Amino acid sequence: MNNNTIEQIKDKLDIVEFIRQYVPGLKRSGKTYKACCPFHTEKTPSFTCSSEKGLFYCFGCQAGGDIFEFLMRIENLSFNEALEKLADLAGVEYKPARGLSGEELRRANARKILDFAKTFYHKNLFSVQGSYAREYVKKRSLTKETCQKFELGLAFNDATALARAAKAAGYTDQDLKEAGLCVLTDYGPRDYYRNRLMFPIINQRGDTVGFGGRILGEGEPKYLNSPETVLFTKSHVLYGLNLAGPAIRKAGRAVLLEGYMDVIGCHQAGADYTVAPLGTSLTEEHARLLKRYTENVTVLFDPDAAGIKAALRGGLVLISQGLFVKVASLPDGLDPDEYIAKYGKEAFEKILGQAQDLMAFHTRLQLDLYPQPLSAQDKTHVITELAETIAQQPDEIVRREWAKYVAEHVGVDEQLVLARVKRPGLQKFSPRINAPTAPVPAVNATNTAEQELLAWLLQAPQGASLCRELTQSDFSSAAAWQLFSAICQTAQEGLTGQELVEKVKQAAPAHAGALVKLALTQPPEDFQPQRDIAACAQRIKQNGVQKRLKEVQRQMKALGAGNVPQELIKEYMLLRTKLKK
């Protein structure tokens, strides 16, 4: 790989500003920035990044690396895909040094043919034969601009329309099948979508990954989604997020709706912070996706039994991932797109403003199940049910508040509610959902003197001159020694910051993971490089002396009195004086 390209990209892009797109909560803390980690669930920020070093590191789940590593992890990209995206963003020209892997090729190919299909369907909608579909769209009050913004399309009532066009453009039967656009039969490929209004499904990166199709006229099923493919996993995409992202950040809140038409109708009326899952229930993946944009989600649901159940279940998934959830419902039994078309954005937002906290919502639902005042037995039922919701809440403070709320509204003691929450089996919140597995620490993490010395040297490489007395035997691990040597070597070249870390990484590639952590370890507020580095070096030297002394004593004992050679006795004396110093 062309290292120069990578360096150029890193120089041009600020890792903190880049990460901020995914982690809006980044706050300055000394020389670095901190936030709750996007890769694991936590309530106290342990995710750190630094512009100066060009690195990120999470002290909670040990995820760490440079801007490439971050993008690969958060978007699930291969290195080549991340390189392509970052080079584009940085305006750096590059030629891929190696061919794409099989998987990358399949994905790139699928992206290409899905784009082709999107354009094909979109043209159909505005063609002469497409007038019947335009009629339908008009009946649903969608404007031409909206159709263009969402790139809506039309699949003709023709079994091979797309297949023929795609093959004329050079795509194979296999391409069509892999992208989920055709089914292969004995008679050749047959279009998956026929006589449907087409909704391209575009992920948050702007890639077309599949389609949803609504039948025009009679027929089943009413809505048909692409099958899962190399690009498309239903539970990983939220419809509309590619357009809603900036608005969600601006509003500080996302609103979850049920279907494509809801999202499109709401966006058309100006409520452009709305998204919807693709006919599936909400998943942890959805929750993590939303968390890149905001911590606050309002679930707008159908006030029927199924809708209430879905809102509650979805809400629980969202809170388990550390999101704050409210629920709201529309009066009159109208769908969101119908409601907003009839009453306007202001009325719609008024409803959102009246949304209830998930806990209040669940409490009211439970209380409505029983006659008032509650009998002792009914109270037990209600508390047991509500304790499950409380137990999903990862934030201790919110959990307490909820227990208090429930206690007041059900009429029991708060301690009883908390006791019920703590019952075994109820604490469903696990702080490490899908967190990357922690790498084996290459540097002895329990040796604080070594950890600090290496970290402080990365902050103040000129301090290396204070460590001349240290030798390999002073260090508790080979890894620590290798990193120490690499840092001292590089410090001599006068490098600092990102360049220093980069050079050290090249000199000791096996310890790159440990290096990232060290580079982002914050020195104490009263950090004085000369004093603190000298103190660490002294402690390490003493540890080394002690270690050697123990070894000498062991040898002397093994040899027995009278058999100890002169040199060993001399060394013993010398070590004793050094230790006293």
Residues that bind Zn ion (CB under 5 A): 37, 39-40, 58, 60-61
Supply the minimum distance, in Å, between the C-beta of residue 452 and Zn ion. 22
Tokens coding 93: 């020209």
CA distance 274 to 285: 17
Q: Are 176 and 166 in contact (CB under 8 A)?
A: yes
CA distance 331 to 354: 12
Supply the minimum distance, in Å, between the C-beta of residue 508 and Zn ion. 24
Q: Distances in Å between the alpha carbon of 464 and those of 411, 480, 491, 539?
A: 66, 14, 7, 15
Supply the minimum distance, in Å, between the C-beta of residue 253 and Zn ion. 24
Between 122 and 288, whose beta carbon lies closer to Zn ion?
288
Query: Most distant CA pair in the chain: distance in Å?
Result: 109
Between 45 and 315, whose beta carbon lies closer to Zn ion?
45
Supply the minimum distance, in Å, between the C-beta of residue 457 and Zn ion. 25
Closest CA to 469 of 455, 479, 484: 484
Q: Are 518 and 448 in contact (CB under 8 A)?
A: no
Between 58 and 403, whose beta carbon lies closer to Zn ion?
58
Supply the minimum distance, in Å, between the C-beta of residue 252 and Zn ion. 23
Between 27 and 139, whose beta carbon lies closer to Zn ion?
27
Q: Exposed, middle or buried, 373 (CB in 10 Å: 0-12/13-18/19+)? A: exposed
CA distance 174 to 189: 9
Dihedrals φ, ψ of 252, to 5°? Answer: 70, 25
Between 37 and 125, whose beta carbon lies closer to Zn ion?
37
Q: Which residues contact 487 (CB under 8 A, 6 or more apart)?
A: 454, 457, 458, 461, 464, 500, 504
CA distance 150 to 211: 12
Between 39 and 361, whose beta carbon lies closer to Zn ion?
39
Supply the minimum distance, in Å, between the C-beta of residue 307 and Zn ion. 35
Supply the minimum distance, in Å, between the C-beta of residue 64 and Zn ion. 9
Dihedrals φ, ψ of 237, to 5°? Answer: -125, 140
Between 58 and 83, whose beta carbon lies closer to Zn ion?
58
Supply the minimum distance, in Å, between the C-beta of residue 571 and Zn ion. 47
